[in-house]
Structure 1
């Protein structure tokens, strides 16, 4: 059902806190947060940031999705995305059943091209296209690889199938189906092993660290990223653009993990190493292992880390220097706009916050519509104002509030 004004994350936190017979002070102490932070979040007067939600969920012993309220069934139905979940789930279950007699795979080169287009669609947040094309492509590749002997073509098919599972992860994760996303990520790792590609395995660990970070497990997320770096070191040319892009992305993920753990020194260290990798490449390479890596992404993550660390004024200052090239993935640009909206909302500046929310909707509408932080920031702005402007009310309706 649509999310009402009192059905925000903070209200759910308050409900579960009371069920656990905890005061706001007790919850704050156990989650290593301030009581004021808990009070504002519960009243909906401050956005419930990912780090806050993860910390509180851990104390309350509930899954993060219980507090964020995902998935949003009404909106999924309106966008005709709900009907795409079951076919994808079925396709993920066919991974070990061998060739399908009803499927005749096209030539491998055609399948590889379709996979590349699917990955590009994921970076452009084109969820409907992904959901409609992915199950069939999974079926073709699963049958194709079952009929291939070990060799170069087998590894190519395995790599393509692994990237299909990556897009399945992106699709399921962004729409709030985190259990399905976890399954897709496991399948990705299995096929990356068959492809014998250490960089592909490292990309999978990068995503795994994101899942851990969602649960607030910063330490384990950093360990997973360390394992990713060891895989990059197994690549035949660690100084290649491919290896540098994957390693740099791992450093950016580690910076966010450290920022959520409030460790500014570790953040700066990883950002510095990521910047070195970007400088060695010398340009943005958004489609190299679909890492969206380069100097632009490093600058983005620098700002995102400042927001996570609570250095909002510095984040706003640095944001003035950031300009996205036309080719930059919409997924990244949309996420940046949501992060800046959250920062301005926390600073008590509703007008720039709303501007960034509108930008997020314009550049990546499907991502914005289903992003919990987008909804939470809109709710914060609505509740802080005696009368919300028409543009903000329209945004709230659009996301289902």
Structure 2
């Protein structure tokens, strides 16, 4: 187990800052962050938010994953996830090699049902189950798409299934810290969505691309990518349909996060209002429509998340009191919400509330919580602020590998 005093994002930022021969003031000026914030982050006394990590990484010319300490190889080894990365990488490389004559694909309808199950698993952050199934499924679908006639309805369904498998691969690799692999999967998703001739799939891919841009702190390019996504939605056969509205609403929510990272409060309000209008048009939560997990519940969640990102912690707490997740809401979303609340409580100095939120994140989506850098960062901050960590907090630290 790494020593918590040394194993945190702030310590890694300090190391790279010194290697680049920058003072805390110099780094703060170049990253457009207050020097006091840099000092607290480096000391491990305040959580390093994704926006701060992205801004600092840009100045230090280092990948965000390195500052986050990802991937967490020892924990992946314990969970038997490490052995799944190489087969998945190999399966992604099969995309243009034609059919594998050693594979006899099942009927497309049967494969489609399995793809639905694996998409459900992704929304539930069941990484191990996903990693075991994905390589074989990618190989089977790649062969099926190669063998089916281009005019066949089955081929279009197969291309859509393969596109969704690439999306799941992106989610799997991204959440575990393999961001280059995730980027490859996202490119494959776009390539296959074009063959499926589905503008909504292409638009949804752009929402994920915007997330990767935000990870690097490039919120302006992220917003341009999202604008292109809205153009694609407008090109679909039924732009007022539930599917199109759900994808459009998802793009608005991604825009709200991008605007929050840019500290543009007016733009955040505008994006959220457009997302709320889209959700009201649908009239209900639609967690399985294009796997966008869109609806009024998700808009309420992003209302809280953007307030936390803007530093409006009082407003975030007020909004959080009104938020209630339905039983079928994706665990990925609920778990992320509790991690965000833990960060907010930590910033407010409410250690007990932060710890409760961390435990709740673990209960709801354990594999997501175990591999989420903000979960680890918040735990580490809470431990360092106390002379003796409570048993529950110490248990969480050990569980994530700190």
TM-score under structure 1 length normalisation: 0.99
- How far is the alpha carbon of 1:4 from its aligned partner? 3.8
2:401 is matched with 400
The 1-side partners of 2:247 and 2:359 are apart by: 31
- How far is the alpha carbon of 1:102 from its aligned partner? 1.0
> Is the CA contact 2:4–2:380 (under 8 Å) kept in the aligned structure 1?
no
The 2-side partners of 1:359 and 1:3 are apart by: 24
> How do 1:1-400 residues align onto structure 2 when only pairs under 5 Å count?
2=2, 4-151=4-151, 152-400=153-401
The 2-side partners of 1:135 and 1:62 are apart by: 30
Gaps of 5+ in 2: none
Q: Provide, for residues 260-283 of structure 1, a one-character-per-residue CA deviation record: whole Å limited to 9, x for no partner.
A: 000000000000000000000000
> Is the CA contact 2:71–2:178 (under 8 Å) kept in the aligned structure 1?
yes
Runs of 4+ aligned residues of structure 1 deviating over 6 Å after TM superposition are none
The 1-side partners of 2:389 and 2:358 are apart by: 14
Matched residue SS, 1:322: coil
Q: Provide, for residues 50-90 of structure 1, a one-character-per-residue CA deviation record: whole Å limited to 9, x for no partner.
A: 00000000011111011001000000000010011111011
> Is the CA contact 2:247–2:290 (under 8 Å) kept in the aligned structure 1?
yes
The 2-side partners of 1:231 and 1:314 are apart by: 34
> Is the CA contact 1:44–1:379 (under 8 Å) kept in the aligned structure 2?
yes
The 1-side partners of 2:77 and 2:19 are apart by: 32
- How far is the alpha carbon of 1:236 from its aligned partner? 1.0
Matched residue SS, 2:59: helix
> Is the CA contact 1:3–1:400 (under 8 Å) kept in the aligned structure 2?
no
Gaps of 5+ in 1: none
- How far is the alpha carbon of 1:5 from its aligned partner? 3.0
The size of the alignment, in residue pairs, is: 401
> Is the CA contact 1:98–1:143 (under 8 Å) kept in the aligned structure 2?
yes
TM-score under structure 2 length normalisation: 0.99
The 2-side partners of 1:51 and 1:228 are apart by: 23
> Is the CA contact 1:159–1:192 (under 8 Å) kept in the aligned structure 2?
yes
Matched residue SS, 2:53: helix
> Is the CA contact 1:259–1:308 (under 8 Å) kept in the aligned structure 2?
yes
- How far is the alpha carbon of 1:7 from its aligned partner? 1.5
- How far is the alpha carbon of 1:3 from its aligned partner? 6.1
For the aligned residues, what is the CA RMSD?
Answer: 0.7
The 2-side partners of 1:178 and 1:364 are apart by: 21
